[in-house]
Amino acid sequence: MIKRTLFIFTLMLSVSCGSYNSIDTFYNTHKNDNQVTAIRVPQFMLTLVSGISPEMQSLVGNTKDLRYMRFPSATPARTEFLNKQMNGITGNSFIEVFRKNDELKRNVISIREKRNSVKEILIYNNDNLNGSFLYFNGDFDPVKVREMARNNEFGTMGDGLIKQFSQETPGISQP
């Protein structure tokens, strides 16, 4: 009986972890979690976001989908769980441009290419207290993306999004 229960639990756990294979699934699953800040920028508001920084302006012009999410990651188990989910999303379909692992802490920049352009950019950070991702879908210059990754210019864009939306939208408080 115990072996059967353990087998069923393991099977359910592996199936539930395997279902986090896209940004859509991750975003929709976690946007209602406690203490989560989630921003999905509608197409008509992308011009407002371009004012955050010159780097953001150069990316936003070619962006079709822009999302940012910050979530708590206060326990090692939660951090490991979130790291595995992000690894599942990037898996084989993304190319890692940059990765820094420090025990459970993560800083990863991944891209998805099609021919000579970058179609998706995913920036994931987790410091064992908070995790975040910044996601762009569009048509981007790979040289510019590489330069921004090399110069760590993606790092402050999430905070800029939160500030921009808190100024534009009443009732949104900054973390």
Q: How far apart are CA 72 and CA 133, in angstroms?
A: 12
pLDDT at 168 over 90: no
Q: Is 137 helix (H, G, I), strand (E, B) or coil?
A: strand
Q: For residue 156, give both structure tokens.
A: 């402050």
**Chain centre to alpha carbon of residue 89:** 10
9 pLDDT tier (thresholds 50, 70, 90): very low
Q: Which strand ranges, in their side-by-side order, compose the sheet holding 105-114?
A: 37-41, 63-72, 130-140, 117-126, 105-114, 95-102
Cβ pair 13, 54 in contact under 8 A: no
Cβ pair 21, 88 in contact under 8 A: yes
pLDDT tens-place string over residues 152-162? 777 666 666 66
